[in-house]
Structure 1
Amino acid sequence: MNRDIRFVIIGAGMAGILAGIRLLDAGYANFVIYEKATSLGGTWRENTYPGLTCDVPAHAYTYSFEPNPDWTSEMASGPEIRDYFERTARKYGVYDHIAFDEDVIACRYDDAQWQIETARGTRDTADMVIAATGILHHPVYPDIDGLDTFAGARFHSARWDHSIPLDGQRIGVIGTGSTGVQIVAALASRAGKLIHFQRSAQWIFPGTNEPYTEEQKAAFRSDPALLKHMQNDPAYVDVAWAWSEAVTDANSAALAETEAYALANLENSVTDPALREALRPDHRAGCKRLVRSPDYYQAIQHPNAQLVTDAIVRVEPEGVRTADGVLHELDVLVLATGFNAHQFMRPMNVTGRGGIALNDVWEKRPTAYLSISVPEFPNFYMLNGPTSPVGNFSLIDVVERQWTYIEHFIALIAEGPARAISATPDALAAYERDRIAAARGTIWASGCNNWYLDSEGVPATWPWSYRRFADEMAAPKMDAYEVA
């Protein structure tokens, strides 16, 4: 190692923690992780709603080097996952490098270095910036007339107010993605009345979330090979990789099989014909992110639960009025309406070489070569950046592969003649041309409204197989990069 590189990492969620661990492991200690909040955890800090679980099997949702024998069930709860990240950050010495309550507002490339500024006035200089800001941290609030007039408790699912009593209350939930489904499943038996307002029915996969016994956890602790097998269980990994290939072809046989499987779940789980038809999706499976739930269909059939499919006209002080004229009186209104997944590190102002603003580069759509690098922004690399793979598989694996790719740049700058590396304009243009063409043939472009779509209706995600992503991340093709 010839140069003492100064790194700035933005964000202390899953990806930022990984970056810190990997830097320390490689012998780089001159770094700071700026975190806007007062604690780490990213999306697992932001979301604390009842029923919160990860829909990736718990053992697969761990860092490859840090398996966890103590997961309590097949699908880990939000608090357990946050505890895992806190424990891992502490074990590997990352806490010593985190500056909490430091919201980065500007990064400016000047004289071959990055000048960093936070909202508190902290200033820093870095040779390399790693943006690990994530994609699910800017809540989206629905545009509904009268929303602010509601007299009861109203909050977004990512801003859960735990001071509000729920038992016996009249609760309304707007949003039918994974979050809304989990909340309904958790509260249907607790509420005096629970109303789920559905704009579009979801494809819901059955599943189990069986607890691990003490004997099983003891076996995981005593047998490293068994624990590693759980991390890489073919029952999950093979299916996830095959699914990534299926969604790239809207006419694939695998997608048809997926639809048949999910429809069988609906047919076998919902007894009332009218409710069953109301829950039947009108779009292709996978067009929206698949929902995995072992108990939603049972919850929505609970005597206290009601599915409402009439459009919401407005919110009034007493509740929600729908297009059929009915006022659904409520005490609590939950907005499970997701996040703006296209913000990334914005509203941070990032200025590259020659004064070029990232906001201008991304005026049409956020983009980066292989989701990692933007031309004219040397030594500024993203984890889970624009067009990264997103879907029903572990984002930890995605980020670990991206870090392996970025490590090649770190080595070139630390040990070789390179001082600045960024993708070339031609490489990004060719990547975007091919990506957009491929994206238009994926299931995400098959006609539904989903959070993958950018402002022009193009799916803003990796449109090829996960296998191809893994191959690309093995090592950079340096002819796609400008090296100075």
Structure 2
Amino acid sequence: MSAAEELNRPARADLRFAVIGAGMSGLLAAIKLEEAGFRQVEIFEREGDLGGTWRDNTYPGLSCDVPSHVYRYRFAPNPHWTRRFSSGGEIWQYLDKVARDYGVRDRIRFNSEIVRAEWDGAAWQLTTKGGETEIFDIVITATGVLRDPVMPDIPGLEDFERPVFHSARWDHSHDWRGKRMGLIGTGSTAIQITAAVAKEVGKLSLFQRTAQWVVPVENPEISEREQEALAKDPKRMEELYFFLADRFQNTFARAVVGDAEELAKVEKACEENLATVKDPELRAKLTPNYQAACKRLIMSDTFYEEVQRDTVEVVTEGIERIERNGVRTKDGRLHEIDLLVCATGFEAHKFMRPMQIVGRDGHTLDEEWAEANRAYRSIGIPGFPNFFTIVGPNSPIGNFSLIMISEMQFAYIMRLVDRIASGEAREIEPSREATDRFNGAIADAMTGTVWVSGCSSWYLDRNGNPAMWPWDFERFEEEMAEPDFNDFRIVS
């Protein structure tokens, strides 16, 4: 260790950290902890590779709906994105490269699912699925949101004799080209798949329960010349980051939390895009009956073009059952198909569960969250000392770039960790009163957002309340800038 590193080394550099999850947020935490001088950092990943969402999803047409030059770590700019909105594969390659460049890939413990975490009064005891137990001073969970797929509860699904799989577990051993594909769902995944496969399938039956609003956002290639120019000029790349971030935060992000003028622009763009569907019957099928942005807006400039092909049928009759060779709708019609893809979403409100988490005095997370998932500023839970979450409850996952969210939340967590590392505190957790106050403010502010305008979406928790961030980016930035230690229970 150099003299400079030794000087910057925290007083308690021996603190033992467990980072749970090796997706985008987990990699961030591991890299930044090591950068801060901590050397005892274990990264647990339940799967066999890193990448989270971008590892699991490999379906045709997969891309991010946040501009490439914003969807990256601040400390690891990438001049070589090939499109305005990156493909899933390109994002995974980026995460893999960052993990290798910063030396954390080789330290990830793959196929090591944590099934139990218990506070023993002084530290956390973690138990893996394989039965191993280890002790840690601080736990940071980065388990993600859209990770556990939900298969539809449709009678007869097990009777289908041909390939059937969830879109997040795409089976590439089955070639869909020239085949009759059934696709259940019309969220962003299904719309991306439709736009990607419509040209080459024999027939696509798109089973739609709810129509979606679609914003016509182009996704042009970024030329090699532009990539090289960015590579040679880091300042230009940083300026592009801030320009795109500002556009994102001050347009769409404002629209969903009550900016009527911005929301009107979004609505107009959606309506004009829908008007490009020539057939009035198909256009009627694709017309939502709720306000734009109430569900997560879908960005595509090709979906309406592709869905109008003769090879695509939008089916709005409800599904009665699945049979051995197709899908029977409630009008009695059998839609014969060769393979069935379920783009039916995820269990978005599990967070770190089904992990059993036992906090102070034997109080469990299941007990704490019996009525609703509640955290303080999305990062801490009363009764669970030295236990922090990245992208926890009410994180602004529908408003901003997820990487920006994670970076700001982790910086906030590090200010709490600094109190422990300096020796000023042994335990730190948000107080009950502060957590209740924060969640009360969220509930009050949610009434002004588009998410309560009358639609059903995965944003809503089991009580029907949006589990989102109801304020603008400036409020999030302000909340994350510096902890108010009066809101914490601190044990010295």
Task: Give % identity.
Answer: 46
Aligned-partner residue type, residue 470 of structure 1: E
Q: 1:414 aligns with which of 416, 421, 426?
A: 421
What residue is the counterpart of 1:260 in the other structure? Answer: 268
Describe the superposition over 1:446-475 as per-residue Cα deviations: whole angstroms up to 9, x where unpaired: 111100111111101111112101110011
What residue is the counterpart of 1:231 in the other structure? Answer: 241
Note if 1:51 corresponds to 2:61: yes
Note if 1:463 corresponds to 2:470: yes
Q: Which segments of 5 or more consecutive residues in structure 2 lack a partner in the other structure?
A: 1-9
**Is the CA contact (8 Å cut-off) linking 2:398 and 2:468 kept in structure 1?**
no
Q: 1:284: how far off?
A: 0.6
Describe the superposition over 1:407-458 as per-residue Cα deviations: whole angstroms up to 9, x where unpaired: 1111110113201000000011111111112223321111111001111111
What residue is the counterpart of 2:294 in the other structure? Answer: 287
**Which shows bigger deviation, 169-178 or 221-230?**
221-230
**Is the CA contact (8 Å cut-off) linking 2:82 and 2:222 kept in structure 1?**
yes
Structure 1 distance, partners of 2:42, 2:132, is: 12
Aligned-partner residue type, residue 486 of structure 2: D
Q: 1:349: how far off?
A: 0.2
Note if 1:481 corresponds to 2:488: yes
Structure 2 distance, partners of 1:469, 1:212, is: 31
Q: 1:244: how far off?
A: 2.4
What residue is the counterpart of 1:110 in the other structure? Answer: 120
Q: 1:392: how far off?
A: 4.8
**Is the CA contact (8 Å cut-off) linking 1:174 and 1:198 kept in structure 2?**
yes
**Is the CA contact (8 Å cut-off) linking 2:253 and 2:473 kept in structure 1?**
yes
Give SS of 2:388's match.
strand
Matches within 5 A, 1:265-280: 265-267=273-275, 269-280=276-287
What residue is the counterpart of 2:306 in the other structure? Answer: 299
Note if 1:126 corresponds to 2:108: no
Q: 2:84 aligns with which of 56, 74, 81?
A: 74
Give SS of 1:124's match.
strand
Aligned-partner residue type, residue 92 of structure 1: Y
What residue is the counterpart of 1:244 in the other structure? Answer: 253
Structure 2 distance, partners of 1:314, 1:403, is: 46
Q: 1:241: how far off?
A: 3.5
Q: 1:324: how far off?
A: 1.8
**Is the CA contact (8 Å cut-off) linking 1:32 and 1:97 kept in structure 2?**
yes
What residue is the counterpart of 1:200 in the other structure? Answer: 210
Give SS of 2:33's match.
helix
Note if 1:323 corresponds to 2:359: no
What residue is the counterpart of 1:23 in the other structure? Answer: 33
Aligned-partner residue type, residue 212 of structure 1: I
**Is the CA contact (8 Å cut-off) linking 1:62 and 1:231 kept in structure 2?**
no
Give SS of 2:482's match.
coil
What residue is the counterpart of 2:220 in the other structure? Answer: 210
Note if 1:314 corresponds to 2:321: yes
Matches within 5 A, 1:157-172: 157-172=167-182
Structure 2 distance, partners of 1:353, 1:169, is: 56
Note if 1:351 corresponds to 2:339: no
Aligned-partner residue type, residue 55 of structure 1: D
Structure 2 distance, partners of 1:302, 1:336, is: 21
What residue is the counterpart of 2:4 in the other structure? Answer: none
Q: Which segments of 5 or more consecutive residues in structure 1 lack a partner in the other structure?
A: none
Give SS of 2:91's match.
helix
Structure 2 distance, partners of 1:388, 1:171, is: 36
Give SS of 1:60's match.
coil
**Is the CA contact (8 Å cut-off) linking 1:35 and 1:100 kept in structure 2?**
yes
Structure 2 distance, partners of 1:286, 1:168, is: 35
Q: 1:147: how far off?
A: 1.2
Q: 1:430 aligns with which of 422, 437, 453?
A: 437
Describe the superposition over 1:79-119 as per-residue Cα deviations: whole angstroms up to 9, x where unpaired: 11101001001101112321111000000000310000000
**Is the CA contact (8 Å cut-off) linking 1:290 and 1:392 kept in structure 2?**
no
Note if 1:145 corresponds to 2:155: yes
Give SS of 1:313's match.
strand
**Is the CA contact (8 Å cut-off) linking 2:256 and 2:399 kept in structure 1?**
no
Structure 1 distance, partners of 2:67, 2:205, is: 29
**Is the CA contact (8 Å cut-off) linking 2:248 and 2:400 kept in structure 1?**
no
Note if 1:34 corresponds to 2:44: yes
Structure 2 distance, partners of 1:238, 1:385, is: 25
Aligned-partner residue type, residue 269 of structure 2: Y
Structure 2 distance, partners of 1:299, 1:36, is: 37
**Is the CA contact (8 Å cut-off) linking 1:56 and 1:392 kept in structure 2?**
no
Structure 2 distance, partners of 1:195, 1:295, is: 18
Give SS of 2:135's match.
strand
What residue is the counterpart of 2:346 in the other structure? Answer: 339
**Which shows bigger deviation, 36-45 or 91-100?**
91-100
Structure 1 distance, partners of 2:240, 2:438, is: 35
